Amino acid sequence: MAYTSIDDPTAYFQTKTYTGSANAQSITFDGNSNLQPDWIWIKERGATGGHVVTDTVRGISASSAPFLQPSANGVQIDGNGTEANRTLTSSNTNGFTLGQDAYYTNFNNNSDTYVSWNWKAGGSASSNSNGSITSSVSANTTAGFSIVSFTGNGSAGATVGHGLSAIPKFILVKVHTSSTAYDWRVFHASLGATKNLILNDTSTVATATNKWNDTEPTSSVFSLGNTAGTNESGSGIIAYCFAEKKGYSKFGSYEGTNSAANGAFVFTGMKPKFIMLKNVDAAKDWNIYDSARDIDNPLEKKLEPNTTDAESTDLALDFLANGFKFRQNGSNFNDANTYIYMAFAENPFVTSTGIPTTAR
């Protein structure tokens, strides 16, 4: 059996840096030209603008490109009417197009630098009736990623089809149309369905039956409790679901060493392109590192999805051919605590034809 089924990760995930112009401009990816992104996450690097995400299921067009902010608990901003053409105006076969940025400096402010993280789902969404709640799903079973849109029913034990044909290891859920602002809720397989985290703050892992109904996701559905934060009756809810694919994605945990001389090594089975991690035992920030902003080891440039802070420097870790290793101790990434992470590949450790990758 081949080590991986994804020899070219750029067909499914890419990180792209760019400079804003305050005028409409197209951003073109550097890798596989067949990646038309369905989930686009952008952060202004040098300023305190919030993280922003948009997706093709909720819609990306010149007339309306609704976006959410991972660094805040607010509902979606529609970006329509007089604000049309101010955010993203299209998802393209090899990137995306930005509108003029007169209203939202988060996307395209003149001379500001940005980073975008881009995932390919399944393009147009289709109806999924596997769960007790019918969902609209854009799924990429090869890459293990789906975008799931549904309306909450407020019932404990509700189930929602995710379309992955594999068990999700990471699920991010946000109520986006409501009169109330709700936190981003995180399911991570390393913690299990009795636990949850919040993306938009520093909270430690919490135990709560009413988030995932204490029920592990299956290869067809994930479960919800009766809390409004994940299942508010009558409200629009979006979920980003990830299944693990060997050599391409990894969702795991590790124990920090609290040692700069012997930092934790985390095996992922790939050379990472992107990692997001969180200390689950202490009230610390989430951290994102990627090899587009840091082209050499060690990686020093981090962004915090739970804050609007500008990019900061914190000599932390190396990306290796088969994982990542910390070169410093620090409570955000290598204290004597438990951490969870999500990682996506630059290259698999070994391709489907047996060719090993090289270190940076």
pLDDT of residue 48: 86
Largest pairwise CA distance in the chain: 55
Cβ 221 vs Cβ 162: under 8 Å:
yes
What is the three-class DSSP state of 273? Answer: strand
pLDDT in tens, 231-272: 999 999 999 999 999 999 999 999 999 998 899 999 999 999
Burial of 81 (0-12, 13-18, 19+ CB in 10 A): exposed
Q: Write down the pLDDT at residue 261.
A: 87
Span 291-323, pLDDT tens digits = 999 999 999 999 999 999 999 998 789 999 999
Give Cβ neighbours of residue 114 (< 8 Å, ≥ 6 apart).
17, 18, 19, 20, 42, 43, 44, 45, 107, 108
Dist CA 97 CA 84 (whole Å): 13
Residue 355 has pLDDT above 90, yes or no: no
Q: Please give the Cα distance from 19 to 110 (Å, whole number).
A: 8
> Which residue matches tokens 């849109």?
149
> In this model, does residue 84 exceed pLDDT 80?
no
- Is the model's pLDDT at 18 over the cut of 80? yes
By residue count, the chain amounts to 360
What's this model's pTM, rounded to 2 decimal places?
A: 0.96
Q: What tens digit of pLDDT does each residue of 180-229 get? A: 999 999 999 999 999 999 999 999 999 999 999 999 999 999 999 999 99
Cβ atoms within 10 A of the Cβ of 103, count?
16
Distance set, CA 284 to CA 123, 186, 260 (Å): 35, 15, 19
Alpha-carbon distances, residue 145 vs 137, 194, 214 (angstroms): 10, 23, 23
Does 165 have pLDDT greater than 70?
Answer: yes
Alpha carbon separation from 351 to 140, 248, 343 (Å, rounded): 20, 10, 17
R_g over Cα of the chain: 19
The answer, yes or no, to whether residue 360 has pLDDT greater than 80, is no
Q: Which CA distances in Å does 207 have to 28, 140, 302? A: 42, 31, 28
